[in-house]
Amino acid sequence: MDGEAAIALAAIRDRIGSARHRFGGPPAAVELVAVSKTFGEDAIAPFLQAGQRLFGENRVQEAKDKWPGLRERYPDIELHLIGPLQTNKAREAVALFDVIETLDRDKLAGVLASEMDRAGRSLPCFVQVNIGGEPQKAGIAPEDAVDFVRRCRSEHRLNVVGLMCIPPDGVPAGPYFAQLAMLGRRAGVEHLSMGMSGDFEVAIAMGATHVRVGSALFGHRPRLATPNL
Ligand SMILES: *Cc1c(COP(=O)(O)O)cnc(C)c1O
């Protein structure tokens, strides 16, 4: 099992490296966010042993059950929240996570800002953009994204470092990634979190700085575990 994790990790890092090399230009680095949702501590531990430190989880409660124990053993873990956040979970999210990737509305921005003040932590945030304008998906509308980033920074005093998106299923993702990159430039953010197991190389071609890879590392999940996709 430990060997398998190291091999899976090396294979994905290799593909990230060659995509960067092939498509050239910025960014100088692409971070691998290993998406460990639905997998338990036993499945995650080999990836930590193989050197991975950056992980993504989509549910506050699940992260609370899994990560405090792992953090005791590996204090340099960086945990990203990549699933929708309800304001009544903001306090727990600020305590558990290091980066929030799913900031998508003013009410949440206000609550996160006051919870960060209260906890004395200023977490970097990504604004999630509903890049395909899909009614069932979270995220700010593309046409409101630049203004929302500005408000998060100036009114809510949040540290917005990037944009994040989950493009529509079943159609080529490239144009959506390109659109997110354009919005990122207009909003003046440094990072783009885009690309998953099936399309992270395309995302890197379009300028991703963070790719969120789950099943290509950990194997398949039961479908019901991913309602936000
Ligand atoms: C589950 C999930 C991923 C990873 O998806 P895979 O296809 O398994 O790589 C990435 N981003 C978000 C927001 C997710 O919920």
CB atoms within 10 A of CB 58: 25
Please report which confidence band the pLDDT of residue 222 belongs to, taking 50, 70 and 90 as the band edges: confident
d(CA 140, CA 103): 8
Which residue has a Cα nearest atom 5 of ligand 1? 214
Binding site membership of 225 for ligand 1 (Cβ less than 6 Å)? no
Give the tens place of pLDDT for each residue, 17-27.
999 988 876 66
| pLDDT above 50 for 84 | yes
The radius of gyration computed from the CA coordinates of the chain, to the nearest angstrom, equals 17
User: What is the token pair recorded at 88?
Assistant: 């009544």
pLDDT at 86 exceeding the cut of 80: yes
Q: Which atom of ligand 1 is nearest to the CA of 200?
A: 9
180 pLDDT more than 90: yes
For the chain, the distance separating the N- and C-terminal CA atoms, rounded to the nearest angstrom, is 28
**Phi and psi (nearest 5°) for 55?**
-130, 155
pLDDT of residue 136: 95
- Cβ pair 225, 38 in contact under 8 A: yes
Measured in Å, residue 202 CA sits from the centre of ligand 1 at: 15
Strand partners, 56: 35, 80
The pLDDT tens digits for 38-64 are: 999 999 999 999 999 999 999 999 999
Cα 108 to Cα 106: distance, rounded to the nearest angstrom: 5
Cβ–ligand 1 distance for 196 under 6 Å, the answer yes
Residue 82 CB–ligand 1 contact under 6 Å = yes
What pLDDT shows up at residue 29?
86
Stretch 195-203: mean pLDDT, rounded? 97
- Asked if pLDDT for residue 2 goes beyond 60, the answer is yes
Q: The whole model's pTM is what?
A: 0.95
* Contact 212 CB / ligand 1 (< 6 Å): yes
Instruction: Give residue for tokens 């340099």.
Output: 76
Q: Which atom of ligand 1 is nearest to the CA of 82?
A: 13
Closest CA to 124 of 44, 186, 197, 191: 191
Q: How far is the CA of 35 from the centre of ligand 1 (A)?
A: 6
Mean pLDDT of the residues in the chain: 94
Residue 42 in tokens: 């036993």
In this predicted model, what pLDDT tens digit does every residue of 112-171 receive, in sequence order?
A: 999 999 999 999 999 999 999 999 999 999 999 999 999 999 999 999 999 999 999 999
Between the alpha carbon of residue 29 and those of residues 20, 24, 26, 32, 191, the distances in Å are 8, 11, 8, 10, 10
